[in-house]
Amino acid sequence: MIKRILPYEGLLHEVVEHAGVLYIGGIVPEDTSLDMSGQADDVLGQLSRLLETLGSNMANVLQVTIFMTDLSEKAAFNAAWKSHFPAAHLPARAAVGVADLGPKVKLEMTAIAARSTST
């Protein structure tokens, strides 16, 4: 069974679940006045809170795709990343450079995670 969660403006569902796997749509920073490290911390915090409401956690993240408007800021992103993912629970990931994500938005992130809270 496919479960669709958190509809958004008739365009998408923020989360789609199938067979205990959570597919999480694009998360953007709520505070676009922040630098890359701040926006990354914002987005990763949103992901963590969303996972908790869905019966999962950051240790169960399987894969992340990060879209960045400036790949030269990747080191600042990585600093925030490491504070949210212990080395034992690092997911697979890809960072992709894009031209534009909206006014002052430096990154958008999608994720795939297991629902189970086991680590």
Distance CA 9, CA 20 (A): 25
pTM: 0.92
pLDDT confidence of residue 119: 43
Q: Structure tokens of 65?
A: 């795709």
pLDDT tens for 97-108 read 999 999 999 999
Q: Phi and psi (nearest 5°) for 74?
A: -60, -35
Question: Does residue 119 lie in a domain region?
Answer: no
Q: Mean pLDDT for the chain?
A: 95
Domain tally for the chain? Answer: 1
Region 24-37: what's the mean pLDDT? 97
Residue 38 belongs to some domain of the structure: yes
Residue 92 lies in a domain: yes
Does 86 fall in a domain?
yes
What range defines the domain where residue 63 resides?
Answer: 2-114
Model confidence at 78, pLDDT cuts 50, 70, 90, reads very high
Domain membership of residue 28 (yes or no) is: yes
CATH at 27: 3.30.1330.40
